[in-house]
Structure 1
Amino acid sequence: MRFFPSASRQRLAAAAAAGALALGAMSVPTSPFSLAADDLKDQQKKVQKKIHGAAEDLEHSSAAARKALAKAEAARADLDRAKGRLSRVRVRLESARTRDERMAEKLQQAEDRLEQARIDLAAGREALAEQRRVVRDRVADSYMQGSPELATITSLLRTRSTEDLTRQQTATGAIMSRETGMYDDLEAAELVLQTRETEVQTAKQEVAADRRKAAQHLEKIRRLTAQAVSRRDDVRDLAATRADARRAAFAAKLKDRKALNRLKKQEARIKQRILAAARASRGSSISAQPSGFLQRPVSGPVTSSFGYRTHPIYKYWGMHDGTDFGVACREPLKASGTGTVIAKYYSEVYGNRLYLSLGRVNGKSLTVVYNHAYGYRYDVGDRVARGAVVGTVGSTGWSTGCHLHFTVLVAGKAVDPMNWL
């Protein structure tokens, strides 16, 4: 684990290191940080127990925070996708409704044409019936009066002068012309009626086709409306899910902060008393240049440097209190210097930890801390030679893969390890 939420942005690792130094003081009386007062040791034991319990609770809540955050992010992504689907369905539905309006208008026009065609057809039928009555009456009259040709011959036999004959022939021609016109009108009326009947049939077919299309389109609108309602319900459900996930993430984050703040306050008090005890000790001090003083603990490359950066979960600007080295699992961890193991324990945050005190350098305590290891070969109180294998690389605690989180503490304060390697 690299970051910790903190309003004051102080490091948990430095405070935890002080607590571990306190534990080492209890385990190794010969350490340069040993404390003489029994009451201080008793208090340290009590606080250390609380620290371990808090670490377990912190890890549990932090794991919950990571899960809650992941759920919140997933819910947000699901909600965005659902909103996109709803928007697309609404666009399609609006387009379908616009088209439905055009189709309804077209259908109305077709029905109007059909109605007019029916009116014209009825008028044509009435006109044809009237024309047929006229023709029937004329045929009946002709039958009663005889044929015009016979009347012409009769007139020729009865006439006394040429003028009378001419007048009679003119009258007969007019009668025959009127009859011919009546027959022509009858034929024309029949043709018009056929046209009207064709128009009505065409209009009926057009209306029927438009009605089928309108029905199909109406079904599409109903389907899109149902989809829109379903998508809207999805959005509502996902919005509620996201709200729940965000509340859970916030609650887990708040729990993390509270647990960490309690832990930091406890360790800060212990750190001050341990440093006071260190100042009171009579251990010797080495004078040396920091650069190159420590041996590299592993041969792998640096994957994350010491310094401030954005916390991956809480997004605050915080301290990464060590240097991460990318190393394969079970690779050896080397002692950076000769010293004494003052603490070794499992932290829910840092996994398997080991504090190696290297004594006093330039008048200040120097301690190196190994984190996330698979395991260690030394116990509290053991002396370790420079370059010895203290353990193997692992991925315990808050870790997503095998690596070493290496911390250097000078007087209990984390410093950039690369300045000492």
Structure 2
Amino acid sequence: MHNLPLAAPSSLSPIPATSDMLRRVIPQGTSPTTSGRIRTAHGRRRTVAALFCAVVILAGTAGAGHADPVDDRRAEAERRSSAADRRAEELRASIEGLSVQLSQAVLDLQATQSRLPAAKAELEEARATLEAAQREAIIVANRLQDATEQRSSLTATIAADRANADELRAAVGAMAREAYRGAPGVSALDVMLDAEDASDFLDNARLVDAALRSQARVLDDLRRVEATNRNSEARLGAVTDRVAELKQEAEAKVAIADEARRVAQAREDEIVRLIADQTARQNTITALKAQAEAEQAEIDAQRAAIERELAAIIAEQRAAREAAEAAARAAAEAAGQKPPPVEAPSGSVSGAVFGNPTSINPMYVTSEYGMRLHPILGYVRLHAGIDLRTGCDTALYAPRDATVVWSQWRNGFGNQVMLDYGTVDGNSLMSSSNHLTRSVVRAGQGVAKGQLIGYSGNTGLSGACHLHFEVYVNGSTVNPRPLLGR
């Protein structure tokens, strides 16, 4: 067995939980301070945030530069996975002739070896996703911190402006009360007309003008403060909405990071388990090696016995044919006629001489004829037929008019039906259908093409229900594929 070299995966890098990180950077509440101090702190925070974002962007750029090795590792893992899948298909073909126990042990080991490269690639991808999610979570957390401080600053500004507006309204009220505190009919004109001389008139006019300017200034200040306050309240609403959006985004980033961490941990656990499973299954196969040797020896013995029996049958047929040909020549010579020609064996049979022996249409070959490596014993052996897809207990048919040579149990081949098609192109042509659940024919019976001969199964040394179909020309196996019509 060729074992897949493996190394235990490195542990995930200890990265703080994203939710804890966000709790550290997102304020739970900000007490109001003076407007100037908040703006100063806010400015410092924006500067730090800008520097941090620049660092993160540079880090992201560096990470992008290192993405190629990760992609290369993933591509290599996928390549190995594809190779393992091909190996799995080869193994499924090579388990013909193994018992169910040995077949399952081989397939289980291959399934583990096929899964390992994919699991490692998924682990790398989950780690990359986790790192990206944590970087994005930090950026969003800083944006949220920035928006939260803006909200606190605006709240404090609005409170200060409201207090200022209240003071201005009180001043306007005081002016109004002072204006109406005098006798009825007293006004700025009265004050100026009460002047005793020109100098007094000018002084009174200046006082009236100063009072009016002061009142107008207070009213202008009040209008300006109220307009500023309305603008600040509108900004506060927008910032409050932004804070809510950023909180949702931050929670989403935390969820993505947590899921990536969970997937990465699951893949790491799976890889550890797969390595342990691989070792256990390799040990199981090693323990079953003696059983595999015994099973292979049984198949070889059965095939040798079949070849001897076919050789004896062919020898009898040849002797009978030669005797008939000799008698025909003697009779022709006695009658003064030309002897009939003797058909010389061509040594091969060609063309689509057989019909579909299964109930699956069109036929589907799951394993070809030819040499292949024994999955446990490690040496090359001949797969002397083709495997055709069938379901368990589905009908099997005679692929050509024939005589049943035998229908019996043949150990590694299970229930076997051997059919004799006589001489084709001067050659003896026979076929066997193997691993049947049961047959419905008997030795010596003649069958027509398409006639039911039995039902497919998983008897003998077979890993699953299928038809193992062999063809013999002059007693030796040949590739049945070119002889099967579609």
The TM-score with structure 2 as length reference comes to 0.49
Q: Is 1:62 the counterpart of 2:103 in the alignment?
A: yes
Instruction: Go from structure 1 to structure 2 and tell me whether the alpha carbon gap of 1:136 and 1:333 turns closer, same or farther (over 3 Å shift).
Output: closer
Whichever residue aligns with residue 289 of structure 1, its letter is S
- Kept in 2: contact 1:370–1:405 (CA 8 A): yes
Instruction: Report SS of the residue matched to 2:395.
Output: coil
Of 169, 184, 187, 2:216 maps to: 184
Deviation of the 1:251 alpha carbon = 5.3
In the alignment, the residues of structure 2 paired with residue 168 and residue 337 of structure 1 have an alpha-carbon distance, to the nearest angstrom, of 150
1:345 aligns with 2:377: no
Contact 2:402–2:420 under 8 Å retained in 1: no
Amino acid at match of 1:209: D
What letter corresponds to residue 181 of structure 1 in structure 2? R
Summarize the Cα distance change of 1:148–1:390 in structure 2 as closer, same or farther, 3 Å threshold.
closer
Query: Which residue of structure 1 aligns with residue 241 of structure 2?
Result: 209
Whole-Å Cα distance in 2 between the matches of residues 79 and 119 of structure 1? 60
State the distance in 2 between where 1:376 and 1:137 align. 122
Identify the residue that residue 290 of structure 1 maps to in structure 2: 347
Tell me how far apart the structure 2 counterparts of residues 310 and 125 of structure 1 sit (CA, whole Å): 97
Which one of the candidate residues 142, 145, 148 is aligned to 1:104?
Answer: 145
- Aligned partner of residue 345 in structure 2, secondary structure: coil
Alignment of 1:169 onto 2:169: no
Match runs of 1:300-379 below 5 Å: 300=357, 303-304=364-365, 307-308=369-370, 319-323=382-386, 329-332=395-398, 344-347=408-411, 350-353=413-416, 369-376=432-439
Distance 1:71 1:271, change over 3 A: closer
What is the identity, as a one-letter code, of the residue corresponding to 2:395?
C
In structure 1, the residue matched to 2:456 is 394
Change (3 A) 1:107 1:312: farther
1:56-82 CA-partner distances (Å, limit 9, x unpaired): xx3322134446656776898899889
Is there any run of 5+ residues in structure 1 with no aligned partner, and where? 14-54, 157-164, 359-364
Aligned partners of 1:390, 1:251: CA distance in 2, in Å?
44
CA shift in 2, pair 1:240/1:351, >3 Å: farther
Question: C-alpha separation between the residues in 2 aligned to 1:404 and 1:298?
Answer: 15
Residue by residue, what CA displacement relative to the aligned partner does 1:245-271 show, whole Å, maximum 9, x if unpaired?
Answer: 555665566566664345446776999
* 1:399–1:214 distance in 2 versus 1, CA, 3 Å: closer
Q: Whole-Å Cα distance in 2 between the matches of residues 245 and 79 of structure 1?
A: 16
Counterpart residue type for residue 436 of structure 2: A
Aligned sequence identity (%) = 11
Cα RMSD over matched residues? Answer: 6.1
State the one-letter code of the partner of 2:397.
E
Q: Is the 8 A contact 2:438 2:455 kept in 1?
A: yes
Alignment of 1:18-417 (within 5 A): 58-66=99-107, 69=110, 98-119=139-160, 155-156=195-196, 165-199=197-231, 201-240=233-272, 242-243=274-275, 246-247=278-279, 250=282, 259-264=291-296, 286=318, 288-292=345-349, 300=357, 303-304=364-365, 307-308=369-370, 319-323=382-386, 329-332=395-398, 344-347=408-411, 350-353=413-416, 369-376=432-439, 384=444, 391-397=453-459, 398=462, 403=467, 405-408=469-472, 414-416=477-479
Distance in 2 between residues matched to 1:209 and 1:147, nearest whole Å: 52
| Code of the aligned partner of 1:291 | S
Q: Secondary structure at the match of 2:472?
A: strand
Cα distance, 1:408 vs structure 2: 2.7
Q: Distance in 1 between matches of 2:232 and 2:480?
A: 97
Write the letter of the residue equivalent to 2:205: G
For 2:220 and 2:127, the matched residues in 1 are separated by 62
SS in 1 for 2:103: helix
Deviation at 1:405, TM superposition (A): 1.1
For structure 2, which runs of at least 5 residues remain unmatched after alignment? 1-88, 319-343, 422-427
Give per-residue Cα distances to partners, 1:120-146, cap 9 Å, x unaligned: 55566667778888x599879999xx9
Cα displacement (A) at 1:329: 0.7
Whole-Å Cα distance in 2 between the matches of residues 317 and 416 of structure 1?
Answer: 17
Q: Which moved more, 1:319-328 or 1:85-94?
A: 85-94
For residues 152 and 418 of structure 1, the distance between their equivalents in structure 2, rounded to whole angstroms, comes to 129
Alignment CA distance shift 1:311-1:226 (3 Å): same
Q: Is the Cα–Cα contact under 8 Å of residues 123 and 268 in structure 2 kept in the other structure?
A: no
Letter in 2 for 1:212: A
- Given that residues 290 and 420 in structure 1 are in contact (C-alpha distance below 8 angstroms), is that contact kept between their aligned partners in structure 2? no
Q: 1:83 to 1:407 in 2, by over 3 A?
A: farther
Q: Is the 8 Å Cα contact of residues 356 and 369 (structure 1) preserved in structure 2?
A: yes
**CA–CA distance in structure 2, aligned partners of residues 263 and 105 of structure 1:** 75
Structure 2 counterpart SS, 1:392: strand
Tell me, what secondary structure is at the counterpart of 2:221? Answer: helix
The SS at the match of 1:209 is helix
Cα deviation for residue 230 of structure 1 reads: 3.5
Counterparts of 1:108 and 1:330, CA distance in 2: 81
1:102 aligned counterpart, secondary structure: helix
C-alpha deviation, 1:180, in angstroms: 1.5
Aligned to 1:101, what secondary structure does the other structure show?
Answer: helix
